Amino acid sequence: MFTLSGELVNALRRRARSLLKHAYIYLNDGDFDLACYNCQQALELYLKSLIYELFGEEVKICSLRELLGILHKRLRDAGRSRDAELIETIIENYRGVILGLEDANVDARYGTKPYDRKDAMDSIEAVEQIIEKLEKVRKRVVA
């Protein structure tokens, strides 16, 4: 396992932060579907940045479950069982939110499902919590 830093990691993280910031703007404007969509995108980009930084693997998939699965497997394969277990806990504790965010990747863009303020607030809160937990993993691995 190795750590890469650089332009791609920084760009993905910057975009993830910006998407989450704009999720708040959409929430305040009443655009709940776009707030949820931005949350999905923010978490997707953060996960991709983490996988790239920690394992040098540029991933092109969009599924949050698959991205978390890749991260879990890479950590386990690298002997980081404690960190892999934290990913398992994230998947278990946020399963419903993750599934909802994956749906928002399509539904929010094409207007096939109505989203409300609670959906948007729950999505923002969950993504912030997940990223906070993932950041703990990142700091332990790169330390």
113: which DSSP letter?
S
- Dmax over Cα atoms in the chain, in whole Å? 45
Q: What is the C-alpha radius of gyration for the chain, rounded to an integer number of angstroms?
A: 15
Show pLDDT as tens, one digit a residue, over the chain (143 residues).
444 457 899 999 999 999 999 999 999 999 999 999 999 999 999 999 999 999 999 999 999 999 999 999 999 999 999 999 999 999 999 999 999 999 998 888 787 888 999 999 999 999 999 999 999 999 999 98
Give CA separation, 26 vs 15, 30, 104, 108, in Å. Answer: 16, 6, 14, 12
| 9 SS3 class | helix
- Read off the tokens for 45: 């980009």
Q: Contact, 3 vs 53, CB < 8 A? A: yes
Q: Which residue in the block uniquely carries the two structure tokens 């991709």?
A: 48
